[in-house]
Amino acid sequence: MKRDILERLKEGIVLGDGGYIIELERRGYVIAGAFTPELAVQHPEAIREMHREFLNAGAEVLQVMAFYGSREKLATVGQGEKTFAINQAATQIAKDVAGDRALVAGDLSATWKWDGASPSARSLVAGMFDEQIEAQAGVDFFIGETFWHLGEARLCLERIKAKTKLPAMITIAFRGADRTDDGFSAADCARILTDEGADIVGTNCMRDPAHTYPILDQMRKSTTAWLAAQPVAFRCSDQTPWFTGSPAFPDRLEQIMIDRYEMADFARRARDIGVSYIGSCCGSIATHVREMAKALGKQQAQTVWQPRPEAPMSETEFNWDRAHAARRP
């Protein structure tokens, strides 16, 4: 029997997977935009291959590819009636790939229907969360992610607790300010979510590592819960600390992608801050995850091939010393 996420966290840091949405667009399966959950039924092999890549790179958790998989969101692209089937298929794909090698995390996310002042909106959003939770039966724990409103994040946590007995991880996304759209600080979010029963709290998406650290510092000081961090692999600026605010978004993101070693540096610094669930989000691919695994001591460098600068037989060998000189201690 697989150890659950809380047992694993007690033993040490858990490494999550990377980002699916933007990479699936880069591979030609969808046009630039937010809608990819339907690939679970249209191109299941695409999602299956990404899960395999992350697993082989060292990820210890595979997240169900159901981001933006709620009924009202899918309805805007004519997929509303397939909501249950899409979530169910995405869950089965992740379970099949994970096997006994990794945990599978269910995925819930912002619905874009949240209105904290509207009881009917609350009821609508609760129903959408419930539908996805039921469709994702058999996961090891749930991640509620990329919430801009603490109110919606709290409702997501409430529904996970009401519908399952599984651990719940809730992560908040911050754009230009260190506050949610409904006015709560990162510290407020971590404290309130912990008090309401979240097993793991943290932040994900929107920001690169450099602009995620201040959020983590606030959260670490305000809660004793397990802390999670999943930044994007796109470079942001002090003026625009979130990647979707960049003029490169959504279809010129290659020019601001950060390299694998920067993500490895993030993994080490997050560990030092006290983050226990370390993952990554949009733009992070298998090479990023592999380097993060190495940085955390979860994967060793391959020994099958070693460079021979004295007698190079490839451009890689010829340039090895130059390419790696800057990264030597």
- pLDDT 10s digits, 21-36: 999 999 999 988 777 8
For 179-226, write each residue's pLDDT tens digit: 999 999 999 999 999 999 999 999 999 999 999 999 999 999 999 999
CA-to-CA dists, residue 314 to 285, 307, 317, 319, angstroms: 25, 9, 5, 9
Residue 137 has pLDDT above 70, yes or no: yes
Proportion of the chain above pLDDT 90, given as a percent: 87
Closest by Cα among 153, 140, 142, 65 to 104:
140
Residue 149 has pLDDT above 70, yes or no: yes
Side-chain half-sphere CA neighbours of 312 within 13 A: 9
151 close to 116: Cβ distance less than 8 angstroms = yes
> With bands split at pLDDT 50, 70 and 90, how would you rate the model's confidence at 315?
confident
**3-7, 8-12, 31-35: which range is least confident on average?**
31-35
CA-to-CA dists, residue 144 to 159, 264, 292, angstroms: 10, 25, 23
Q: What is the mean pLDDT of the chain?
A: 94
For 262-279, write each residue's pLDDT tens digit: 999 999 999 999 999 999
Q: Which amino acid is at 30?
A: V
Model pLDDT, residue 329: 47
**3-12, 52-61, 140-149, 320-329: which range is least confident on average?**
320-329
Q: How far apart are CA 278 and CA 13, in angstroms?
A: 7
Q: How far apart are CA 47 and CA 269, in angstroms?
A: 30
**Angle between helices 83-98 and 44-57 in degrees, nearest 10:** 40
Residue 138 dihedral angles phi and psi, to the nearest 5°: 100, 0
Give the three-class secondary structure for 177: coil
> With bands split at pLDDT 50, 70 and 90, how would you rate the model's confidence at 299?
confident
Q: How far apart are CA 68 and CA 48, in angstroms?
A: 18
For 155-175, write each residue's pLDDT tens digit: 999 999 999 999 999 999 999
Look up residue 143 and give its DSSP letter: E
Residue 168 dihedral angles phi and psi, to the nearest 5°: -125, 130
194 close to 168: Cβ distance less than 8 angstroms = no
Query: How many residues does the structure list for the chain?
Result: 329
Residue 227 dihedral angles phi and psi, to the nearest 5°: -110, 140
Q: Tokens for 233, please give them.
A: 């692999």
Complete domains list, the chain, with CATH: 5-302 (3.20.20.330)
What element of type H or E holds 201? strand 200-204
Model pLDDT, residue 327: 61
Residue 89 has pLDDT above 60, yes or no: yes
Side-chain half-sphere CA neighbours of 45 within 13 A: 1
Model pLDDT, residue 12: 97
State the residue for tokens 């001591």.
297
Residue 40 has pLDDT above 80, yes or no: yes
> With bands split at pLDDT 50, 70 and 90, how would you rate the model's confidence at 177?
very high
What element of type H or E holds 227? strand 226-230
Q: Tokens for 304, please give them.
A: 């099958």
Closest by Cα among 103, 125, 191, 180 to 147:
180
Residue 96 dihedral angles phi and psi, to the nearest 5°: -60, -45
Alpha helices, H only, the chain: 5-11, 21-26, 39-42, 44-57, 71-75, 83-98, 119-135, 150-163, 186-195, 209-222, 260-273, 286-295, 315-318, 320-325
- Arithmetic mean of pLDDT, 123-152: 98
